[in-house]
Structure 1
Amino acid sequence: MERIKLELNEKREGAFNLYIDDKKLGEMVISITNNLLTVYHTEVAPEAEGKGYAKKLLDEMTAYVRANNLKVVPLCPYVHAQFKRHPDEYQDIWKK
């Protein structure tokens, strides 16, 4: 069973972590400052690649951002590419 969990430290740095059967197989590294969520890196373990998990991490992050009225600074190449590829889907949360 898969689940995505936001895990942050006291400085509001951390990641959306993807767990499958309690094994961490993916992460989207982020930090939150004021009303900005910065995405630094997205990675899925080789054995979990090609199954849409990066997109699931992206969907979880965007839902969190919208629920908390934040904007996204997409420094991660994957997230930035998705924002550029689908601008209508992300324009409300994209801090350009």
Structure 2
Amino acid sequence: METVVKLEVNNKNGYFYIEINGNTEAKMTFVFAGTDKIIIDHTEVNEGHNGKGFGKMMVAKAVEFAREKNLKIIPLCPFAKKVFEKTPEFKDVL
């Protein structure tokens, strides 16, 4: 089964998440900073799903979202920051 990253968003914040069998197993939250930036502030993956790449999938989805909406990302979350440091192809949204 393919793992799909979903998005919930309102006018001030939102989150990317991965749902398996109706349960949210991973979540990455963000807040809007003005009209052209989002701040990724937290990433968590439920126990039992560590090492499956869920965190990186959510960061990749955030990058895709930022590119579509012409936004920049400020990764305050240490995990997201590390993914950006290791993934040069994501640098355009920083």
Give the C-alpha shift of residue 23 in structure 1.
Answer: 1.0
Give the conservation status (yes or no) of the 8 Å contact 1:5–1:17.
yes
Within-5 A mapping of 1:10-29: 11-29=11-29
Aligned residue-pair number: 92
Structure 2 gap segments, 5+ residues each: none
Q: Give the TM-score, by structure 1 length.
A: 0.85
Give the C-alpha shift of residue 20 in structure 1.
Answer: 1.2
Cα distance per residue 1:29-82 (max 9 Å; x no partner): 101231101100111001111111111111111111111110001101011112
Q: Give the TM-score, by structure 2 length.
A: 0.87
Give the conservation status (yes or no) of the 8 Å contact 1:17–1:26.
yes
Q: What's the RMSD between the two structures over aligned residues?
A: 1.4
Between the aligned partners of 1:72 and 1:59, the Cα distance in structure 2 is 12
Query: Is residue 2:55 matched to residue 1:48?
Result: no
Structure 1 gap segments, 5+ residues each: none
Give the C-alpha shift of residue 3 in structure 1.
Answer: 2.5
1:64 corresponds to which letter in structure 2?
F
Query: Is residue 2:48 matched to residue 1:80?
Result: no
Q: Aligned to 1:48, what secondary structure does the other structure show? A: coil
Q: Structure 1 runs of 4+ off > 4 angstroms? A: none
Between the aligned partners of 2:84 and 2:70, the Cα distance in structure 1 is 17
